[in-house]
Amino acid sequence: MQKNYTSLSREQLLACKGALEEEYQGYVKKNLKLDMSRGKPAGTQLDLTNGILFTLSNYITEDGIDARNYGGLDGIPEAKRLFSELLNIPKERIIIGGNSSLNLMYDAIVRFELFGTGGHTPWCKLDHVKFLCPSPGYDRHFAICEDMGIEMITIPMKEDGPDMDMVEKLAAEDASVKGIWCVPLYSNPQGICYSDEVVDRLASMKTAAPDFRIMWDNAYGVHHIYEQKSVKDIFKACDAAGNPDRPFYFFSTSKITFPGAGVALVASSPANVAEIKKHMGVQTIGHDKLNQLRTVNYLKNAEGVREHMAKLAAELRPKFDVVLQTLERELGGTGLASWTNPKGGYFVAIDTLNGCAKATVALAKNAGVTLTGAGATFPYKKDPQDRNIRIAPTYPTYEELKTAIELFCVCVKLAGVNKLLEEKA
Amino acid sequence: MQKNYTSLSREQLLACKGALEEEYQGYVKKNLKLDMSRGKPAGTQLDLTNGILFTLSNYITEDGIDARNYGGLDGIPEAKRLFSELLNIPKERIIIGGNSSLNLMYDAIVRFELFGTGGHTPWCKLDHVKFLCPSPGYDRHFAICEDMGIEMITIPMKEDGPDMDMVEKLAAEDASVKGIWCVPLYSNPQGICYSDEVVDRLASMKTAAPDFRIMWDNAYGVHHIYEQKSVKDIFKACDAAGNPDRPFYFFSTSKITFPGAGVALVASSPANVAEIKKHMGVQTIGHDKLNQLRTVNYLKNAEGVREHMAKLAAELRPKFDVVLQTLERELGGTGLASWTNPKGGYFVAIDTLNGCAKATVALAKNAGVTLTGAGATFPYKKDPQDRNIRIAPTYPTYEELKTAIELFCVCVKLAGVNKLLEEKA
């Protein structure tokens, strides 16, 4: 257990600062060059999936289509069945895409902008379009809004999901609020899992916009590390609440098989699926069906995915262990940081003292460790309290990660002590 | 040599009609079920490329990127080099996409609509946007315009490309004319190759719209069957004319390797490439790099592509032979039809007598042969003279095709004779 820095005197803090700076300089001298910035799997993790490269012996699909040829706009039946079983989504609600669920999300927003949805005005014809952005959240969701000129409203995250009082109020009062980004299970970056109550409130809340949409990015839907969490069925909740067209569900195998060559899907209500297919059928003749076959041949069925994910979890667990244990050992009780203990997903998120995130990231960078930019997890890259830092433990080796997270803790402490000294000046 | 039906008397025509109807009923009794509607390769043609499925032994690219992982937005260097060498386009102008050049075209128009290009007003903010559509042309180009609410202006095709007098006049006079669709080599469906003069005029013409764009879909750029035609370099022509940002060049390996799992590219000026990447980098983290590697490993270099295309041409040539020879034998000199003799590409286009295309397609359908819908090769599916029919010889077997094209000729004659009789009534 570390001392609580927030109760130290100025003199004690100065002494700590001296010791921390010495420790920090020790790391600087090591000439580290480590990248903890992005949620990429390591090569060793990808190696666990190499078998997928050699699974393609057939190219005729169950329904007799030649997967090499044109056609099959919404995906091959065996891929739909696999994901239907895995995610408990009716097959007819699923459209299989290319290698990127982000691309499916972007294109969904493009269609809202250009064509509108459900017969409502295309968003590009409106003066103001706003999106609710639970934050810290996924920077690439926010980048889509920024690209489209959609105004983002930061919604604080609570332990069981977004602040629903605020979400409900904004959605009910402002017809220009058109939707919300959600990563409902093991959220990026905090690893928060939405409670049943949050899902029900999202599904049933009154919205001033008739075309309010939930962008349900279940990116980590089967990415358990310590526990098998689940999230309430958004389709059933929305159907029950009489809002069947509200959710757009996204998923991919990017972090199941290969990030660069996975299979993504979008799922929604029958009306939305028809709308998507109408435009997607103009955009393309079909996505890569051979890669869909490869994926199904390799993963086989829902149980096959779960077995595969257990292997990946075994690879990831030591990395999460060393991060979480080091944080606890070095920062626990210091009063300088708080963090969530994710049970799955790809990230650990740390809150430093207010006003210390940028300084911490800069210190780490100066010592050769690249972290996700401070603020990146907020709309417009602006963390109002400059305190959240996303740690991505997956890419470095265990040894690299161990060093990097130890240095990180020194940086958090040094930035924190500097901040406390400032306040006492 | 057949008789010239247009000079026959009513009585002679009635006698022909009787004989043709008897011949036609003979086909109806055969219960044919043949599809000549789409430009899909046959399974036997795809078999020539099966080797590509087993070429992936590596996954680290030339520049040391793990192709399995995230990244590589604009493509792996070896893919850019292959296409640069093949198409004579500077590497830095090339962005490699997913499996569909159509998707890249659609997304290019989406960006023009939502963001504008070159600093000009987004097209979705304008009251009128028009596109020049040389016709007969590719139905999926026209479908993109229809999806976006872009008004299409039909431009007649001449022997060496679109009617440039009309193109120049419309582009110069109307600032809402924002672009033109072009398939410059072995055009779909006529197999017309643009002359140097047409390319130069497209590149240098005055346009009222400063953001006039040429959608240069070189879909059949290396798809020679009888001769090795080429088309003048659109980039050099536009650069020389001081209009470097005018062309957007599209290409894919859909009809080189597999239609469902090829590799597509978009190429343009440095300014346009920067604009594309700015938005594409929000839309996706990167396209399937493993499939790019597969493609390069299999095709190797420009010479490898040419050798491969020679194999495909040998497979296709007998099919084009039987179509062209049957047309000449059965319809030559009849005055009932005219057609181009394509030297490459995927189609043969026939003009019947005015007002006979729909009737011909209906007759064929009734006898079990599905053709591309009459009118499909024109904007809004409306052939102003109801005369153009696209024949796609690639998908049926040789034997099926032989039967289908013989029946087709009977249908053209029967529809033509009916028309001539109507006129004499």
Q: What is the pLDDT of residues A143-167, one digit of tens each?
A: 999 999 999 999 999 999 999 999 9
User: B57 falls in which pLDDT band (50, 70, 90)?
Assistant: confident
The residue-averaged pLDDT of B132-161 equals: 98
**Residue A343 half-sphere exposure toward CB, CA atoms < 13 A:** 11
Measured in angstroms, the CA of A94 and the nearest CA of chain B are apart by: 19
Percent of chain B with pLDDT over 90: 96
Mean pLDDT across A61-67: 95
Residue of A111, A207, A193 lying closest to A160 (CA atoms): A193
Substitution target in A101, A266, A285 with the highest count of B β-carbons within 10 Å is A285
Q: Which of A59, A124, A147 sits opposite B124 (nearest CB)?
A: A124
Q: In angstroms, how far is CA A158 from the centroid of its own chain?
A: 16
Say yes or no for a CB contact (<8 Å) between B283 and A40: no
What integer is the mean pLDDT of A129-155?
A: 98
Spatial separation of the C-alpha atoms in residues A284 and A278, rounded to whole Å: 11
pLDDT at residue A39 is higher than 90: no
A125, HSE (Cβ side, Cα atoms, 13 Å) = 11
**What's the mean pLDDT in B135-144?**
97
**A115: exposed, middle or buried (C-beta count within 10 Å: 0-12, 13-18, 19+)?**
middle
Question: In this structure, are residues B351 and B360 in contact, taking their beta carbons and an 8 Å threshold?
Answer: no
Q: Which of residues 269-288 of A touch B (CB under 8 A)?
A: 279, 282-288
- Residue B93 in tokens: 């102008």
The mean predicted confidence, pLDDT, of chain A is: 97
Residue A108 has a pLDDT of 98
Four-CA torsion A10, A13, A15, A17, nearest 10 degrees:
-130
For chain A, say whether B329 makes contact (Cβ under 8 Å): no
Mutation site for A-interface testing, chosen from B44, B283, B287, B395 by largest number of A Cβ within 10 Å: B283
Across the interface, whether the CB atoms of A261 and B68 are under 8 A apart is answered yes
What pLDDT is recorded for position A57? 83
pLDDT of residue B1: 60
Q: What is the pLDDT of residue B141?
A: 98
Residue A291 pLDDT class (50, 70, 90 cuts): very high
Which site among B99, B266, B276 would you substitute to test the A interface, given the most A Cβ atoms closer than 10 Å to its Cβ?
Answer: B99
Tell me the per-residue pLDDT of B202-214, one tens digit each, with 9 for 90 and over: 999 999 999 999 9
Out of A190-194, B50-54, B113-117, least confident range: B50-54
**DSSP class per residue in B79-140:** HHHHHHHHHT--GGGEEE-SS-HHHHHHHHHHHHHHH-STTPPPGGGSS--EEEEEES--HH
Residue A166 has a pLDDT of: 98
**Angle at which helices A164-173 and A196-204 pack, to 10 degrees?**
0
Q: How many residues does chain B have?
A: 425
When pLDDT is averaged across residues B355-359 and rounded to a whole number, the result is 98
- Say which of B107, B258, B288 has its CB closest to residue A68: B258
pLDDT tens track for B102-125: 999 999 999 999 999 999 999 999
Q: Contact B262/B253 with Cβ under 8 angstroms?
A: yes
Does the beta-carbon distance from B99 to A260 stay under 8 Å? Answer: no
Cβ–Cβ contact B345 with A under 8 A? no
How many other C-beta atoms lie within 10 A of the C-beta of residue A127?
5
For the question of an ipTM over 0.90, the answer is yes
Peptide bond into A90 cis (omega under 30): no
At A207, which amino acid appears? T
- A69 with B260: Cβ contact below 8 A: yes
Helix (H, G, I), strand (E, B) or coil at B399: helix
- Label residue A85 by pLDDT band (50, 70, 90): very high
Examine the pLDDT at B15 and tell me if it is beyond 70.
yes
Which residues from A are below 8 Å from B256, CB to CB? none
- Partner A, chain B 58-117, Cβ-Cβ below 8 Å: 59, 66-72, 98-100, 102-103, 106-107, 110, 113-114
Q: How would residue B425 be classed by pLDDT, with cut points 50, 70 and 90? A: confident
N residues, chain A = 425
**CB–CB contact B106 A284 (8 Å):** yes
Inter-chain touch B99–A102, beta carbons under 8 Å: no
Q: Within 10 A of A279 (CB to CB), how many other CB atoms are there? A: 18
Residues of B in contact with A146 (CB under 8 A): 282
In a mutagenesis test of the B interface, which of A37, A46, A65, A70 is the best target, namely the one with the most B β-carbons within 10 Å? A70
Whether A1 has a pLDDT exceeding 70, the answer reads no
Q: Is A398 on the interface with B (CB under 8 A)?
A: no
Residue with tokens 């007003």: B121
Amino acid residing at B179 = G
Three-class SS state of A288? coil
Contact (Cβ atoms closer than 8 angstroms) between residue A36 and residue A371: yes
Nearest CA in chain B to A47: B68
Q: What Å distances lie between residue A347 and A49, A95, A316, B289, CA to CA?
A: 21, 28, 11, 25
Does the pLDDT at position B78 exceed 90? yes
Short-list A198, A121, A116, CA closest to A164: A198
Calpha distance A149→B115 (Å, rounded): 10
Cα nearest neighbour of A101 on chain B? B284
What integer is the mean pLDDT of A322-338? 97
> Regarding predicted confidence, which is higher, B340 or B89?
B89
